C-alpha cells in the first residue's frame, strides 16, 4: 500500500510558518468561528485594558503574567490549527507544483490541429491531445486512443496503468504523465474544480466547512461556556454578601480555566488532521462529512473479486463425465487453453501439466483458435475436423442443443452443482459436441481476510459480499471468507436496492465501485469509494476516490473515520474532566480571604493564592500544545467492540483528565513559587 | 450512626427497587393506552370525559401542539387558582373565616402549585380556607403531577417511535394518569393515613383546654386526602406549616416510611417504564442505578454529618448527634433519610427543619436540588431531566467509541445537543442569577434570619428550591415579602416550563428520526460503565457550576463550625 511517509510533527519548516499563521488567525473574523477561543481572546483583551488603566489590590506583575498566559492560550489554539493546515499544505504543495506549469494541446474545433494553452485556461468540454511524455493537463475522459499512464504523482505507484477510450478505464487525472502512445481527452471539470484542487482545498482548511458532528460539538462547548459564564458572573454577588469583593482578573482566570478551551483549541486541528490522514492514505474525500460518515458505517458492501478473493480463479481439478478418461479431459482442456492468456487459462495449463505427462507443448500448425466473444461466451480450438469448446456450462449447452436430455448432461449438472457448492466455478469442456467434463475453477480467498471480517464484526459492522456468481458458489465463498451475508448474481440494480433497504433499516452503508453502472449505487451509499481507475461517472458519484484503486481499503477508511470521532470525544472528555482540579485550585485561592477556613479546599497544597491561580492558567494554556501531537496523530483505534473501547478511553482520557491537572498544577505551582513569580 | 438507622435506609432502598417494576409496568400500560384492571370500573368515566370535552384520545399531536395544549391548560389553572385565592374570603367552606390571600402571595402560591413546586410562603392552617386547600391546591397536586408524567411519556415516545410525527395526545395522557394512577393510589393511601390517625374532616379547628388549663386551638381539616397526593405527586405542600413533622400529617414511623416510599414510587417506576418503552428494560435499570447511587451517597453524607453533630455544642456539654429541628418520633436516621428523599425527588415535604441540619448535612438536600432534581426527581420531571443529562453524556463520551453518538437507537445530533444544553443551562442561570441579585439588594438581604454563610445558604436554598420545583424551605428566610414572593414565583415558572419546552422539542425531533439498530459497535448505554458515566456527567455538568456558591454557603459554614467560629 502506498502510504506516504509519516512526516515528523515538529520540523522547523512546519513550525515557523505555523507560528506566523497563528498570529494571523487572531483576526476577529477568523476567531469568531470558534466561540470558545473568541471568548478567551475577549477576556484576554479586557484584562489587557484593565492592566493598563485599572486599579485593584493585585500586583501588576501578577496581572501581567495572567494577561500573557491568556494570550498564549489563544495563540496555542490558533497555532494548533495552523500546524494542522501546514501539514496539509506540505502534502498538497508537490501536487500544486506539478500542476502549476501544466500546458495543454487544445484541439481546435475537434480537428487535428491543436494550439498550446495554459492548463488553467481549459474549460469543461474542451478536447486536448496528450502525447508521449506529456502531463495530462486536466481531469478528463479518454475519448480516443489508448495509452499507458504513470500516475505516481498522485498514487505513489510507479507501475504505469492503461487508460483507454470507452469502458471502465477511461478517466485520467491532471498531473499524471502519458508514457506511451497518445490519447484525446475531453476535459470534464472547470478550472479549480479538479480532484487535486479539491484535495488542496480540503487539507489546507481554507474552504473547510464544519461537519455536522463538529457543529454539534461546538454547540455543546458554547453551552458549557455559557453555563460557566453564569457560574463566574454570579460570584461577585455572593462575595458581596460575604462582605468582600473579587478582582476581575481572578474571575477572568476562573472563567478561562473552566470553559473548555482545550478541546475548542484543538477542534479544527483534529478535523483537518483527519482529512490529512486520509489523503496520506491515498484516499481523497470530497467532504469532511464523508469521513465522519465512514465512522458510522453499519454495513460494508464488498465486491468479491479483488476484495475478498484474489482476482483470479485457479483451476484445481478436472471432473470427467460419461466415462471420459481424466487424461483425455485434461488434454482437451489444455488444447483449448494454449492460447488463452488469462490467468484462468494459464492455471488450466499448469494443472494439466502437473497431473499428466506427454501433453502437447503447442498447437499443431493447422489449428484454428475460436476466440472468446461476448455473444457465444465460448472459446476453443479447431484442429482439422476436431472442435474443442470451453466455456460456462449453460453456454456450452446452448451451443450444442443436441446435448439437452442426454444422461451425460445430467451427470455434468450434478458435478457442476457440486463445484458451485464448494465455492468454485465450473467450466464445461466439449469435444465434437460431446461433453467431456468440467474444470473446477476455484476462487482463492485472500489470506487474513477472515480475521479482518471478524474484527469488523467486533466493531459492529456487517459485511455483505457482492458477486455475480450463482447463489451456491456465493454461499460457499461467503462461508469460507466469513462474511455476514452475500448478494449473488448481483446486478447494479440489485446493489442499489440492497443499499436502499439497509438505509431504510437505519443503517449506514459503504461500498466501492469503479464502473459507470456502479454510479447510482455509489451516489446512494453513505460512503461511496470510487476507484481512481474507474470511469469519470463513478468518480463523480462517489464521495471518496481511492487513488490506489484498492477496494480492501474500505475497511481502513472506516477505521480512519472512527479515529477522527474518537479523537474529538477523547479530548472533549479530557477537557471537561480537567475542570474539577481547576476548581480546587482557584476556589480556595479566591475565597480564602473571605472565609479563611476555605483554605482546607486547597487539597493540592498550592503555595499562595496568586500562585494557585497562575498555575491553573498556565496548566490550562500548556495542555494545548502538549495535546497537539495527539490531536494531529489521532487517538489509537483498535477494532474491538464499543464496550471495551469505551472502558479503555474512559480510563485514559476520563480518569487521566481528572487526575493529570492535579499533578500538573502542583508541579507548575512548585516552579512558579520556586522562581518567585507569584 | 446506628445499625437501626442503616437498616432503615437499606430497607427503604430495597423497597424502592422492588416497587419500581410493578409500578413501571402499570405506568407502561397507561403510556401505551392499554386496558388495565381498573378500566372495567373507570373506563366509562374516561370515555365520558372525552365525550364531554370533544377530545379524540387517538389523535396524535406533534410536539408543538402538545406543548401549546399543555401550556394553555396550566395557564388557565394558574389563573383560576389565583382568582380563587383572592376570593376565598367570600367563598364557602371557610370555617375559620380567612380573608383574601394577598396579591404577591396568591401569585407566588398559584405558580408554586401549578409548577409542582409547592413552595409555601404561608402557614396553611392560618391562611387557607378548606375550599382553597381542596380546590385550589389539592387539584394542582394531582394535575401538576399528571402533567409531569404526561411530559415524560411524550419524551419516551420520542425515543421509542420511528419516523413519527406525533408524540401522543396530551389530554389522553393527562386523563389516564390521573384516573388510573393518581386517584386510585391516593384513595388507598388516604385511607391508610386516616387509619393511622391523620384527620380528614371539613370541620374547622377545635378549641381545647389543656391539662395545664390553657386554651389551645387545634387545627383540623381534610388532611389525609391532601397528604396522599402531596407525596405521591412529589408536591410537598403541607396542610400545616410544620409539614410532615406535624403529628397530624405524619403520625407514626410507619406513615413516615409510607410517605418516603410514595415520594419515590412513581419516579422510580418511570425509569422502568422508559426501559419498556424503548424495548430494553436494562436501559431503565441503568438510569435507576445511577439515580440510586447518587441518592445513597447523599444519604450517607447527611446521615453521617447529622449523627456526628456539632462540635461547638459538644464543647458546651451537649453530647450526641444533631437533634435540633428534628422530631423525637423520627430521630436522626429517619430525618436524614427523609430530607434526602424529599430533595432528591422534587417533593419538598419535610419531617425536620433543614435549616437546623449541620452545614454539610443541609448541603446535600441543597445539592440534590441543584443537580436539577434528577435523582428520582419530581414525577415525570425527574426522568425527563435525567434523560437530558443522558443525551449530554452520550454525546460527550459516545464519540469515544468512534461513532456519531446514539442513545436507545436515536442519533444525538446538533439539535438535541443545543436544546439539551439550553434546558440544562436554565437551572444555574436562574438559581445563581437570582441568588446573586438577592445577595446585593436590600430587599433580598432583609430575608435571611442568620448572619454569615448560613444566611447566604438560606437565600441560595430558597431559589434553588424554587427553580428546581422542590418547594422545601430551609426555614429561616422570611420569604412572604413582595420581593421574595415575586422573585421566587418567576423562578418557579421558569424552572418548570423553560425546561419543558426544549425537552418537548427534543421529543418531537427524536420521534421523527429513524431508528438505528444496536450493534456491537454501538455505544453501550446499559451496564455499570454507563451508570458511572451518567453519575459523572450529572456531577460535573450539573453540580460543578454550584461549587462557588456552595463554598461560600454550607462549606464555609461547616468549616467555621469546625473552627468553632460563630457569626
Q: What is the pLDDT of residue A551?
A: 77
Nearest to B432 among A231, A577, A587 (CB): A231
Nearest chain A residue to B430 by CA: give it: A230
Q: What is the pLDDT of residue A204?
A: 62
* Chain B residues touching residue A657 (CB < 8 angstroms): none
Nearest to A216 among B417, B433, B516 (CB): B417
**What are the start-end ranges of the H helices in A101-191?**
152-155
Q: What is the pLDDT of residue B384?
A: 94
pLDDT tens-digit series, residues A627-647: 999 998 999 888 888 888 889
pLDDT tens-digit series, residues B274-310: 999 999 999 999 999 999 999 999 999 999 999 988 8
Higher-pLDDT residue of A572 and A358 is: A572
* Chain B residues touching residue A224 (CB < 8 angstroms): 421, 541
Query: How many residues are there in chain A?
Result: 678
The ipTM, to two decimals, is 0.91
Query: Residue B506 and residue B513: Cα distance in Å, rounded?
Result: 11
* % of chain A residues with pLDDT over 90: 27
Segment A136-148 mean pLDDT:
85
A244, A642, A654, A655: best to mutate for the B interface, most B CBs within 10 A: A642
Q: What is the pLDDT of residue A156?
A: 57
Q: What is the pLDDT of residue B429?
A: 94
Q: Do B517 and A505 touch (CB under 8 A)?
A: yes
Query: Residue A619 and residue A582: Cα distance in Å, rounded?
Result: 9
Q: What is the pLDDT of residue A578?
A: 92
CA distances, A52 to each of A49, A63, A133, B15 (Å): 5, 10, 66, 64
Reference B244, options B336, B135, B133, B327; nearest CA is B327
C-alpha cell recorded at residue A267: 477542534
- The radius of gyration of chain A's CA atoms, rounded to the nearest angstrom, is 33
Segment B400-413 mean pLDDT:
90
Segment B138-152 mean pLDDT:
93
Yes or no: say if B120 and B471 are a contact pair by the CB < 8 Å rule: yes
Task: Identify the active-site residue in A303, A469, A550, A579.
Answer: A303
Yes or no: say if B537 and B392 are a contact pair by the CB < 8 Å rule: yes
At A4, is the pLDDT very low, low, confident or very high (cuts 50, 70, 90)? Answer: very low
Question: Would you say residue B25 has pLDDT above 70?
Answer: yes
Instruction: Calculate the dihedral angle through the C-alpha atoms of A310, A313, A316, A321, rounding to the nearest 10 degrees.
Output: 150
Question: Would you say residue B546 has pLDDT above 70?
Answer: yes
Yes or no: say if A130 and A183 are a contact pair by the CB < 8 Å rule: yes
pLDDT tens-digit series, residues A75-130: 999 999 888 888 777 766 765 665 556 778 888 776 678 888 887 778 888 888 88
Q: What is the 3-state secondary structure (H, E, C) of A574-623?
A: HHHHHHHHHHHHHHHHHHCCCCHHHHHHCCCCCCCHHHHHHHHHHHHHHH
A113 is catalytic: no
Higher-pLDDT residue of B210 and B179 is: B179
Q: Do B529 and A650 touch (CB under 8 A)?
A: yes
Nearest to A566 among B400, B413, B433 (CB): B400
pLDDT tens-digit series, residues A466-500: 888 788 888 888 988 889 999 988 887 888 899 99
In this structure, of A44-58, B12-26, B272-286, B308-322, the range with the lowest mean pLDDT score is B308-322
Q: Do A591 and B560 touch (CB under 8 A)?
A: no
Q: What is the mean pLDDT of chain B?
A: 90
Q: What is the pLDDT of residue A203?
A: 61
E strand segments, A222-361 = 283-285, 299-303, 309-320
In this structure, of A251-255, A415-419, B32-36, the range with the lowest mean pLDDT score is A415-419
Query: Residue B292 and residue B264: Cα distance in Å, rounded?
Result: 11
In this structure, of B50-59, B196-205, B225-234, B504-513, the range with the lowest mean pLDDT score is B196-205
The CA distance from B455 to the nearest CA of chain A, in Å, is 9
At A1, is the pLDDT very low, low, confident or very high (cuts 50, 70, 90)? Answer: very low
Query: Residue B257 and residue B252: Cα distance in Å, rounded?
Result: 9
Question: Would you say residue B79 has pLDDT above 80?
Answer: yes
Higher-pLDDT residue of B444 and A514 is: B444
C-alpha cell recorded at residue A340: 488463452
Q: What is the pLDDT of residue A98?
A: 56
Q: What is the pLDDT of residue A596?
A: 86
At A322, is the pLDDT very low, low, confident or very high (cuts 50, 70, 90)? Answer: confident
C-alpha cell recorded at residue A527: 460512503
Match 482545550 to its residue by C-alpha cell.
Answer: A262
pLDDT tens-digit series, residues A523-558: 899 999 988 777 777 777 888 888 777 777 888 888
Question: Would you say residue B264 has pLDDT above 60?
Answer: yes
> How much of chain B is helix, strand and coil, in % rounded to 5?
65, 5, 30
Q: Do B399 and A224 touch (CB under 8 A)?
A: no
* % of chain A residues with pLDDT over 70: 92
Segment B181-200 mean pLDDT:
94
Concatenating the DSSP letter of every residue in A10-70 gives: --HHHHHHHHHHHHHTTSHHHHTTSHHHHHHHHHHHHHHHHHHH---SS-HHHHHHHHHHH
Q: What is the pLDDT of residue A155?
A: 63
Beta bridge partners of B200: B222
In this structure, of A307-316, B432-441, B466-475, B478-487, the range with the lowest mean pLDDT score is A307-316
At A153, is the pLDDT very low, low, confident or very high (cuts 50, 70, 90)? Answer: low
How many contacts does A have with B, using Cβ atoms within 8 A? 223
Yes or no: say if B276 and B284 are a contact pair by the CB < 8 Å rule: yes
- The radius of gyration of chain B's CA atoms, rounded to the nearest angstrom, is 23
Per-position b or e across A476-495, b if 16+ CB within 10 A of its CB: bbbebbbbeebbbebeeeeb
CA distances, A430 to each of A174, A333, A383, B165 (Å): 49, 9, 14, 64
Question: Would you say residue A311 has pLDDT above 70?
Answer: no
C-alpha cell recorded at residue A644: 471495551
Segment A162-178 mean pLDDT:
79
Portion 618-637 of A in contact with B at CB < 8 A: 637
Query: Residue B155 and residue B518: Cα distance in Å, rounded?
Result: 20
Higher-pLDDT residue of B217 and B276 is: B276
Q: What is the pLDDT of residue B477?
A: 85
Query: Residue A153 and residue A149: Cα distance in Å, rounded?
Result: 11
Is the pTM for the entire model greater than 0.80?
yes
Query: Residue A269 and residue A671: Cα distance in Å, rounded?
Result: 30
Q: Is the dihedral of CA A61, A65, A70, A75 positive or negative?
A: positive
Q: What is the pLDDT of residue A157?
A: 61
Question: Would you say residue A167 has pLDDT above 90?
Answer: no
* % of chain B residues with pLDDT over 90: 60
Through-space distance between the first and last CA atoms of chain A, rounded to whole angstroms: 55
C-alpha cell recorded at residue A467: 458477486
Strands B406-407 and B410-411: antiparallel
Q: Give the helix/strand (H/E) hosting B484.
A: helix B482-512
Query: Residue A184 and residue B291: Cα distance in Å, rounded?
Result: 71
Nearest chain B residue to A211 by CA: give it: B414
C-alpha cell recorded at residue B262: 410514595
Nearest chain A residue to B438 by CA: give it: A237
Yes or no: say if B397 and A569 are a contact pair by the CB < 8 Å rule: yes
pLDDT tens-digit series, residues A187-214: 887 776 666 666 666 666 555 677 888 8
* Chain A residues touching residue B563 (CB < 8 angstroms): 597
Nearest chain A residue to B529 by CA: give it: A647
Q: Do B540 and A240 touch (CB under 8 A)?
A: no
Q: Do B417 and A219 touch (CB under 8 A)?
A: yes
| Displacement of CA A294 from its chain's centroid (Å) | 7
* Chain B residues touching residue A241 (CB < 8 angstroms): 439-440, 445, 455-456, 459, 552
For chain B, say whether A609 makes contact (Cβ under 8 Å). no
Q: Give the helix/strand (H/E) hosting A104.
A: strand A103-107
Yes or no: say if A289 and A212 are a contact pair by the CB < 8 Å rule: yes
Q: What is the mean pLDDT of chain A?
A: 85
Reference B488, options B67, B187, B134, B108; nearest CA is B108
Sheet with A146-150, side-by-side order of all strands: A161-164, A146-150, A177-180
* % of chain B residues with pLDDT over 70: 100
Yes or no: say if A12 and A86 are a contact pair by the CB < 8 Å rule: no
Strand, coil or helix: A523? helix
Yes or no: say if B86 and B101 are a contact pair by the CB < 8 Å rule: yes
* Residue A552 DSSP code: T
At A5, is the pLDDT very low, low, confident or very high (cuts 50, 70, 90)? Answer: very low
Per-position b or e across A114-129, b if 16+ CB within 10 A of its CB: beeeebeebeeebbbb
Strand, coil or helix: B197? coil
Q: Do A219 and B421 touch (CB under 8 A)?
A: yes
Q: What is the pLDDT of residue A188?
A: 82
C-alpha cell recorded at residue B92: 364557602
Q: Do A216 and B551 touch (CB under 8 A)?
A: no
Segment B181-210 mean pLDDT:
90
At A154, is the pLDDT very low, low, confident or very high (cuts 50, 70, 90)? Answer: low
Beta bridge partners of A511: A301, A528
Instruction: Calculate the dihedral angle through the C-alpha atoms of B491, B497, B500, B505, rounding to the nearest 10 degrees.
Output: -120
Q: What are phi and psi of A207, to 5 degrees?
A: -105, 15
pLDDT tens-digit series, residues A385-428: 889 999 888 888 888 888 887 888 888 888 888 888 887 888 89
Higher-pLDDT residue of A24 and B27 is: B27
Segment A584-604 mean pLDDT:
89
Q: Per mean pLDDT, which of A329-343, A486-500, A559-573 is the most reliable?
A: A559-573
Segment B412-427 mean pLDDT:
93
Amino acid at each position: 500500500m502506498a502510504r506516504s511517509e509519516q512526516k515528523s510533527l515538529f520540523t522547523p519548516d512546519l513550525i515557523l510558518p505555523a507560528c506566523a499563521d497563528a498570529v494571523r488567525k487572531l483576526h476577529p473574523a477568523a476567531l469568531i468561528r470558534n466561540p470558545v477561543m473568541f471568548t478567551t481572546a475577549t477576556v484576554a483583551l479586557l484584562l489587557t485594558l484593565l492592566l493598563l488603566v485599572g486599579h485593584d489590590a493585585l500586583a501588576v506583575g501578577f496581572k501581567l503574567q495572567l494577561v500573557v498566559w491568556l494570550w498564549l492560550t489563544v495563540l496555542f489554539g490558533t497555532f494548533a490549527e495552523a500546524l494542522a493546515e501546514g501539514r496539509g499544505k506540505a502534502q498538497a504543495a508537490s501536487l500544486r507544483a506539478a500542476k502549476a506549469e501544466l500546458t495543454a494541446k487544445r484541439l481546435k474545433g475537434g480537428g487535428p490541429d491543436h494550439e498550446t494553452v495554459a492548463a488553467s485556461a481549459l474549460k469543461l468540454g474542451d478536447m486536448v491531445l496528450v502525447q508521449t511524455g506529456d502531463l495530462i493537463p486536466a481531469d478528463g475522459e479518454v475519448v480516443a486512443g489508448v495509452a499507458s499512464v504513470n500516475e505516481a504523482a498522485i498514487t505513489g505507484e510507479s507501475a504505469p496503468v492503461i487508460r483507454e477510450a470507452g469502458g471502465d478505464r477511461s478517466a485520467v487525472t491532471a498531473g499524471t504523465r502519458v508514457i506511451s502512445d497518445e490519447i484525446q481527452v475531453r476535459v470534464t471539470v472547470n478550472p479549480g474544480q479538479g480532484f487535486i484542487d479539491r484535495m488542496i482545498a480540503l487539507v489546507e482548511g481554507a474552504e473547510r466547512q464544519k461537519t455536522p458532528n463538529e457543529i454539534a460539538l461546538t454547540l455543546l462547548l458554547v453551552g458549557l461556556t455559557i453555563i460557566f459564564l453564569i457560574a463566574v458572573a454570579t460570584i461577585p454577588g455572593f462575595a458581596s454578601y460575604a462582605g468582600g469583593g473579587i478582582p476581575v482578573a481572578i474571575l477572568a482566570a476562573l472563567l478561562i480555566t473552566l470553559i473548555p478551551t482545550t478541546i475548542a483549541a484543538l477542534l479544527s486541528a483534529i478535523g483537518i488532521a483527519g482529512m490529512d490522514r486520509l489523503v496520506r492514505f491515498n484516499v481523497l474525500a470530497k467532504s469532511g462529512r464523508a469521513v465522519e460518515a465512514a465512522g458510522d458505517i453499519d454495513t460494508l458492501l464488498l465486491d468479491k473479486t479483488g476484495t475478498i478473493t484474489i482476482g483470479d480463479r485457479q483451476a484445481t481439478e478436472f471432473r470427467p463425465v460419461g466415462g471420459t478418461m481424466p487424461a483425455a479431459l485434461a488434454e482437451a482442456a489444455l488444447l483449448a487453453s494454449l492460447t488463452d492468456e488469462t490467468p484462468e487459462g494459464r492455471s488450466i495449463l499448469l494443472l494439466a501439466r502437473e497431473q499428466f505427462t506427454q501433453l502437447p507443448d503447442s498447437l499443431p500448425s493447422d489449428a484454428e483458435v475460436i476466440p472468446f466473444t461476448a455473444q457465444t461466451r465460448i472459446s476453443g480450438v479447431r484442429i482439422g475436423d476436431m472442435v474443442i469448446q470451453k466455456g460456462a456450462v449453460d453456454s456450452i449447452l446452448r451451443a450444442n442443443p443436441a446435448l439437452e436430455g442426454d444422461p451425460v448432461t445430467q451427470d455434468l449438472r450434478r458435478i457442476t452443482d457440486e463445484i458451485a457448492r464448494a465455492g468454485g466455478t465450473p467450466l464445461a469442456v466439449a469435444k465434437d459436441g460431446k461433453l467431456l467434463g468440467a474444470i473446477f475453477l476455484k476462487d482463492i480467498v485472500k489470506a487474513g481476510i477472515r480475521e479482518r471480517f471478524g474484527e469488523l464484526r467486533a466493531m459492529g459492522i456487517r459485511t455483505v459480499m457482492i458477486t455475480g456468481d450463482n447463489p451456491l458458489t456465493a454461499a460457499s465463498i461467503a462461508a469460507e471468507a466469513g462474511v455476514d451475508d452475500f448478494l449473488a448474481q448481483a446486478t447494479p440494480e440489485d446493489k442499489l436496492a440492497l443499499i436502499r433497504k439497509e438505509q431504510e433499516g437505519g443503517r449506514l452503508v459503504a461500498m466501492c465501485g469503479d464502473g459507470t453502472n456502479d454510479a447510482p449505487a455509489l451516489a446512494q451509499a453513505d460512503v461511496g469509494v470510487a476507484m481512481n481507475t474507474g470511469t469519470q461517472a463513478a468518480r463523480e458519484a462517489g464521495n471518496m476516490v481511492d487513488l490506489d484503486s484498492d477496494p480492501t481499503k474500505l475497511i481502513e477508511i472506516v477505521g480512519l473515520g472512527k479515529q477522527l470521532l474518537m479523537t474529538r470525544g477523547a479530548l472533549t472528555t479530557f477537557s471537561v474532566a480537567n475542570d474539577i482540579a481547576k476548581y480546587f485550585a482557584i476556589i480556595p485561592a479566591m475565597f480564602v480571604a473571605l472565609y479563611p477556613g476555605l483554605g482546607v479546599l486547597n487539597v493540592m497544597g498550592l503555595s499562595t493564592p496568586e500562585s494557585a491561580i497562575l498555575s491553573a492558567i498556565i496548566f490550562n494554556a500548556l495542555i494545548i500544545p502538549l495535546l497537539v501531537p495527539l490531536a494531529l496523530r489521532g487517538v489509537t483505534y483498535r477494532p474491538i467492540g464499543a464496550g471495551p473501547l469505551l472502558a479503555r478511553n474512559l480510563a485514559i482520557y476520563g480518569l487521566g483528565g481528572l487526575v493529570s491537572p492535579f499533578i500538573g498544577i502542583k508541579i507548575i505551582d512548585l516552579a512558579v513559587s520556586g522562581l518567585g513569580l507569584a | 450512626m446506628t445499625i437501626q438507622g442503616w437498616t432503615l435506609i437499606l430497607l427503604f432502598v430495597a423497597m424502592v427497587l422492588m416497587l419500581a417494576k410493578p409500578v413501571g409496568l402499570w405506568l407502561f400500560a397507561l403510556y401505551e393506552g392499554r386496558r388495565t384492571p381498573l378500566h372495567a370500573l373507570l373506563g366509562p368515566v374516561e370515555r365520558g370525559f372525552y365525550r364531554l370535552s370533544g377530545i379524540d384520545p387517538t389523535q396524535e399531536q406533534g410536539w408543538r401542539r402538545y406543548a401549546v395544549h399543555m401550556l394553555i391548560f396550566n395557564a388557565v389553572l394558574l389563573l383560576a387558582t389565583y382568582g380563587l385565592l383572592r376570593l376565598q374570603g367570600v367563598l364557602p367552606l371557610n370555617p375559620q373565616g380567612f380573608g383574601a390571600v394577598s396579591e404577591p402571595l396568591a401569585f407566588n402560591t398559584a405558580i408554586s402549585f401549578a409548577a409542582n413546586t409547592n413552595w409555601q410562603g404561608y402557614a396553611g392552617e392560618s391562611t387557607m380556607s378548606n375550599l382553597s386547600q381542596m380546590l385550589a391546591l389539592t387539584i394542582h397536586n394531582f394535575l401538576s403531577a399528571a402533567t409531569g408524567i404526561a411530559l415524560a411519556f411524550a419524551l419516551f415516545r420520542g425515543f421509542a417511535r420511528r419516523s413519527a410525527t406525533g408524540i401522543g395526545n396530551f389530554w389522553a395522557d393527562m386523563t389516564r394518569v390521573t384516573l388510573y394512577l393518581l386517584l386510585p393510589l391516593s384513595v388507598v393511601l388516604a385511607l391508610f393515613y386516616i387509619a393511622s390517625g391523620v384527620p380528614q374532616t371539613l370541620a374547622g379547628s377545635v378549641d381545647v383546654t389543656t391539662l395545664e388549663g390553657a386554651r389551645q386551638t387545634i387545627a383540623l381539616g381534610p388532611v389525609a386526602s391532601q397528604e396522599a397526593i402531596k407525596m405521591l405527586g412529589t408536591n410537598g405542600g403541607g396542610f400545616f406549616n410544620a409539614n410532615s413533622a406535624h403529628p397530624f400529617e405524619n403520625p407514626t414511623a410507619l406513615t413516615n416510611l409510607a410517605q418516603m416510599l410514595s415520594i419515590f414510587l412513581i419516579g422510580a417506576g418511570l425509569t422502568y417504564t422508559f426501559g419498556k418503552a424503548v424495548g430494553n428494560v436494562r436501559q431503565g435499570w441503568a438510569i435507576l442505578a445511577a439515580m440510586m447511587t447518587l441518592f445513597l451517597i447523599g444519604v450517607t453524607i447527611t446521615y453521617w454529618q447529622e449523627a456526628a453533630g456539632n462540635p461547638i455544642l459538644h464543647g458546651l456539654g451537649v453530647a450526641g448527634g444533631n437533634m435540633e429541628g428534628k422530631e423525637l418520633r423520627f430521630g436522626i436516621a429517619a430525618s436524614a433519610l427523609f430530607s434526602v428523599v424529599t430533595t432528591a425527588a422534587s417533593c419538598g415535604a419535610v419531617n425536620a427543619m433543614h435549616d437546623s441540619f449541620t452545614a454539610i448535612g443541609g448541603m446535600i438536600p441543597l445539592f440534590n436540588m441543584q443537580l436539577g432534581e434528577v435523582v428520582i426527581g419530581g414525577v415525570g420531571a425527574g426522568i425527563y431531566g435525567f434523560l437530558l443529562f443522558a443525551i449530554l453524556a452520550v454525546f460527550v463520551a459516545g464519540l469515544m467509541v468512534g461513532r456519531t453518538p446514539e442513545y436507545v437507537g436515536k442519533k444525538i445530533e446538533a439539535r438535541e445537543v443545543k436544546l439539551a444544553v439550553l434546558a440544562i443551562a436554565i437551572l444555574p442561570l436562574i438559581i445563581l442569577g437570582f441568588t446573586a441579585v438577592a445577595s446585593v439588594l436590600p430587599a433580598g438581604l432583609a430575608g435571611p434570619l442568620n448572619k454569615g454563610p448560613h444566611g447566604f445558604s438560606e437565600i441560595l436554598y430558597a431559589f434553588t428550591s424554587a427553580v428546581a420545583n422542590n418547594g422545601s424551605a430551609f426555614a429561616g428566610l422570611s420569604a412572604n415579602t413582595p420581593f421574595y414572593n415575586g422573585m421566587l414565583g418567576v423562578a418557579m415558572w421558569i424552572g418548570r416550563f423553560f425546561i419543558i419546552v426544549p425537552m418537548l422539542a427534543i421529543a418531537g425531533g427524536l420521534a421523527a428520526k429513524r431508528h438505528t439498530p444496536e450493534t456491537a459497535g454501538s455505544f453501550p448505554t446499559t451496564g455499570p460503565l454507563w451508570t458511572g458515566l451518567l453519575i459523572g456527567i450529572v456531577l460535573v455538568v450539573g453540580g460543578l457550576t454550584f461549587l462557588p456558591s456552595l463554598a461560600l454557603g454550607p462549606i464555609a459554614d461547616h468549616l467555621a463550625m469546625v473552627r468553632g467560629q460563630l457569626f
